[in-house]
């Protein structure tokens, strides 16, 4: 009996030693989360990224039974927050909002970043898109995209466009437009969308590709004229404004926003977060709150969002090289 008992104990220990490393990540995912989750936002409070973090954070806290803290880390065009995320623990307790500027444009705009988005980070899910609208100041006579193109070609050194800064979504949208229409517009970069929009309203600058939530009040008041939207289909908020693609085939340049985690985060935790984000973004009250801010909810698998980051990096690398865009 002694020999048998010892043999049984030895066998049991061997089985435990073999199984436990495999079972550990699954066990952690089952228990996750057991403490507060932090959502890092690479931009200041108040914008679309911050709104997404706070709306989804509230739903996650309710579902998981743990606090969700929104941590705004603005600076260096979002690179400070991305670098922080690349070095964070991959335990699911530090995740981040990821607009296309920080994970698709910056990696190919800035030559020497201390992180590699595609190696150090992974996608959790797409969260939404913020369409932009091509608007012109009151002094510009064009009422359609075709008329603006004609005016710009007739006077190639006359027109200017405002952006939120070098490499911003507004900047990229305008450069794609210029390339696809063979037009010239002088780039006037600002430190953010708000001051850029002020100068378009004041007719100091002629044109802007502006996020819909910022432009809409001024379009409705008649202070700005909307010529076209940047997505693939017309917007419910502006049903009479055509897409730019209706005049310039295949044009598209929306702002998209997703959620990321450190690359070493276990797949089981990534999948659990993905499932919760998709559940939350399907809720009518969430979609309503986001729509009020001009955000159209959209989800994906983790693999789909990771692939989007990679494919968009290639796309914007070509635009940046062709336009000789340099970081500020």
The CATH number assigned to the domain holding 184 equals 3.40.190.10
Predicted confidence (pLDDT) at residue 19 exceeds the cutoff of 80: no
* Per-residue pLDDT, 157: 85
pLDDT per residue as tens digits for the range 123-158: 999 999 999 999 999 999 999 999 999 999 999 889
* Residue 20 within a domain: no
* Residue 3 within a domain: no
* Per-residue pLDDT, 28: 58
pLDDT per residue as tens digits for the range 70-81: 999 999 999 999
Q: From CA 179, how far away is CA 181, in angstroms rounded?
A: 6
Q: From CA 65, how far away is CA 171, in angstroms rounded?
A: 41
Q: From CA 201, how far away is CA 195, in angstroms rounded?
A: 10
* Residue 173 within a domain: yes
pLDDT per residue as tens digits for the range 93-107: 999 999 999 999 999
* Per-residue pLDDT, 299: 98
- Tell me which of 183, 211, 246 is where a domain ends: 246
The reply to whether 166 and 229 lie within a common domain is yes
The reply to whether 238 and 268 lie within a common domain is no
* Residue 22 within a domain: no
Residue 159, domain extent:
132-246
* Per-residue pLDDT, 20: 46
Q: Determine contact, residues 262/85, Cβ cutoff 8 Å.
A: yes
The reply to whether 232 and 296 lie within a common domain is no
Q: Which residues have CB under 8 Å from 210's CB, separation 6+?
A: 132, 133, 135, 170, 193, 196, 197, 200, 224
Q: Which residues have CB under 8 Å from 289's CB, separation 6+?
A: 51, 55
Predicted confidence (pLDDT) at residue 50 exceeds the cutoff of 50: yes
* Residue 328 within a domain: no
Predicted confidence (pLDDT) at residue 11 exceeds the cutoff of 80: no
The reply to whether 57 and 76 lie within a common domain is yes
Mean pLDDT of 193-198: 92
* Per-residue pLDDT, 238: 93
% of the chain surpassing 90 pLDDT:
80
For tokens 């743990």, what's the residue?
66
Q: What is the DSSP letter of 102?
A: I
For the stretch 239-243, contacts whose Cβ atoms lie closer than 8 Å and that sit 24 or more positions apart, written own/partner, are 241/133, 242/145
* Per-residue pLDDT, 30: 76
Mean pLDDT of 38-65: 96
Mean pLDDT of 199-222: 95
Mean pLDDT value across the chain: 91
Mean pLDDT of 17-44: 73
Predicted confidence (pLDDT) at residue 34 exceeds the cutoff of 70: yes
The reply to whether 233 and 145 lie within a common domain is yes
* Per-residue pLDDT, 4: 54
Predicted confidence (pLDDT) at residue 29 exceeds the cutoff of 80: no
The reply to whether 217 and 240 lie within a common domain is yes
The reply to whether 151 and 195 lie within a common domain is yes
SS3 135: strand
% of the chain surpassing 70 pLDDT:
91
Predicted confidence (pLDDT) at residue 175 exceeds the cutoff of 80: yes
281 pLDDT band (50/70/90 cuts)?
Answer: very high
The total of structural domains in the chain comes to 2
* Residue 307 within a domain: yes
The reply to whether 137 and 121 lie within a common domain is no
Predicted confidence (pLDDT) at residue 264 exceeds the cutoff of 50: yes
The reply to whether 278 and 232 lie within a common domain is no
Treating both helix axes as pointing N-terminal to C-terminal, what angle do 267-281 and 284-292 enclose, rounded to 10 degrees?
Answer: 80
The CATH number assigned to the domain holding 310 equals 3.40.190.150
- Tell me which of 246, 272, 288 is where a domain ends: 246
- Tell me which of 179, 213, 246 is where a domain ends: 246
The reply to whether 39 and 144 lie within a common domain is no
Mean pLDDT of 182-187: 96
The reply to whether 53 and 70 lie within a common domain is yes
* Residue 21 within a domain: no
Predicted confidence (pLDDT) at residue 3 exceeds the cutoff of 90: no
Q: From CA 213, how far away is CA 217, in angstroms rounded?
A: 8
* Per-residue pLDDT, 292: 87
* Residue 18 within a domain: no
The reply to whether 84 and 66 lie within a common domain is yes
């Amino acid at each position: 009996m002694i020999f048998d008992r010892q043999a049984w104990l030895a066998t049991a220990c061997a089985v435990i030693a073999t199984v436990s490393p495999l079972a550990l990540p699954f066990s952690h995912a089952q228990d996750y989360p057991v403490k507060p989750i932090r959502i890092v936002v690479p931009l200041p409070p108040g914008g679309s990224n911050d709104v997404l973090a706070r709306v989804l954070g509230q739903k996650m806290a309710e579902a998981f039974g743990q606090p969700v803290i929104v941590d705004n880390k603005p600076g260096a065009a979002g690179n400070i927050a991305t670098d922080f995320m690349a070095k964070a623990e991959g335990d699911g307790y530090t995740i981040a909002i990821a607009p296309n500027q920080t994970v698709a444009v910056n990696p190919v705009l800035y030559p020497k970043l201390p992180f590699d988005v595609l190696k150090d980070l992974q996608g959790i899910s797409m969260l939404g898109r913020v369409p932009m609208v091509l608007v012109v100041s009151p002094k510009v006579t064009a009422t359609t995209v075709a008329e603006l193109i004609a005016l710009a070609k007739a006077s190639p050194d006359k027109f200017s466009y405002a952006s939120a800064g070098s490499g911003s979504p507004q900047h990229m949208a305008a450069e794609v437009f210029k390339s696809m229409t063979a037009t010239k517009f002088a780039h006037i970069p600002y430190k953010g969308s708000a001051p850029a929009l002020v100068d378009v309203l004041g007719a100091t600058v002629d044109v802007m590709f502006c996020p819909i939530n910022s432009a809409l009040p001024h379009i409705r008041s008649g202070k700005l004229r909307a010529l076209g939207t940047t997505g693939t289909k017309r917007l419910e908020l502006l049903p009479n404004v055509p897409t730019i693609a209706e005049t310039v085939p295949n044009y598209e340049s929306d702002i998209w926003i997703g959620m990321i985690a450190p690359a070493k985060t276990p797949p089981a935790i990534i999948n659990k977060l993905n499932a919760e984000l998709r559940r939350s973004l399907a809720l009518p009250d969430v979609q309503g709150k986001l729509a009020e801010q001009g955000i159209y909810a959209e989800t994906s698998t983790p693999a789909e969002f990771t692939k989007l980051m990679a494919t968009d990096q290639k796309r914007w690398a070509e635009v940046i090289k062709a336009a000789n865009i340099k970081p500020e």
